[in-house]
């Protein structure tokens, strides 16, 4: 493991951040017990024009955090049972984020948040040791080791957006 990623890592194009998060470590500290897992799957949600992005419906209380500082957590509840962990990207005022879809040992965003005890109490917090959740440098991942596909579960976003290859998956070796 390496250095903790700072807001400057996240203050870049969302698609780039989503791709480069593969191979990094998602670190969780609960009462002094640290666990870390390699990030294996992400999806990019690239602003108000992206019909799959929550910000496409406008600025709301729910999406307010997406307009803030890069590196903050956007956490929401879906299907009455799962929390989703997203990391805000790009400059302040531009609502974009990366959904962390999978880590080693937890395939799927709902399983990931259950495994790491991630819930609404972290919403709006910055990835940091203080919050108990952060991301650290990992191994470099080559493009040949990444599968790009359309995002999952966004049929409502129309043909253009549902077919964009904004999901990044670390290939199994």
Neighbouring-strand partners of residue 100:
42
Asked if residue 1 is part of any domain, the answer here is no
pLDDT value of residue 1: 64
What does the block give as tokens for 171?
């290939």
Instruction: Provide the CATH number for the domain around residue 140.
Output: 3.10.300.10
Closest CA to 77 of 106, 120, 130, 117: 120
Asked if residue 101 is part of any domain, the answer here is yes
Asked if residue 34 is part of any domain, the answer here is yes
Structural domain that includes position 19: 7-170
Asked if residue 65 is part of any domain, the answer here is yes
Query: What are the DSSP E strand ranges found in 65-111?
Result: 73-78, 82-88, 97-103, 106-107
Closest CA to 139 of 104, 105, 166: 104
* Domain total in the chain: 1
pLDDT digits (tens, 9 = 90+) for 69-118: 999 999 999 877 899 999 999 999 999 999 999 999 999 999 999 999 99
Asked if residue 89 is part of any domain, the answer here is yes
pLDDT value of residue 46: 96
Helix (H, G, I), strand (E, B) or coil at 46: coil
Asked if residue 96 is part of any domain, the answer here is yes
Distance between CA atoms of 94 and 100, rounded to whole angstroms?
19
Asked if residue 52 is part of any domain, the answer here is yes
pLDDT per residue, tens digit, the chain (173 aa), is 679 999 999 999 999 999 999 999 999 999 999 999 999 999 999 999 999 999 999 999 989 999 999 999 999 998 778 999 999 999 999 999 999 999 999 999 999 999 999 999 999 999 999 999 999 999 899 999 999 999 998 888 888 899 999 999 999 86
Asked if residue 2 is part of any domain, the answer here is no
């Amino acid at each position: 493991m390496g250095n903790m990623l700072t807001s400057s890592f996240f203050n870049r194009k969302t698609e780039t951040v989503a791709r480069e998060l593969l191979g990094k470590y998602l670190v969780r500290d609960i009462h002094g017990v640290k666990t870390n897992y390699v990030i294996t799957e992400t999806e990019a949600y690239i602003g108000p024009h992206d019909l799959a992005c929550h910000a496409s419906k406008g600025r709301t209380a729910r999406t307010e955090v997406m307009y803030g500082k890069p590196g903050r957590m956007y956490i929401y509840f879906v299907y009455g049972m799962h929390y989703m962990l997203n990391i805000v990207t790009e400059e302040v005022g531009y609502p974009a984020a990366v959904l962390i879809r999978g880590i080693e040992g937890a395939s799927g965003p709902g399983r990931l948040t259950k495994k790491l005890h991630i819930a609404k109490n972290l919403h709006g917090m910055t990835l940091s040791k203080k919050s108990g959740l952060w991301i650290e440098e990992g191994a470099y991942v080559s493009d040949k080791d990444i599968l790009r596909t359309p995002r999952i579960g966004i049929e409502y976003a129309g043909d253009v957006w549902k077919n964009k290859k904004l999901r990044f998956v670390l290939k199994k070796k």
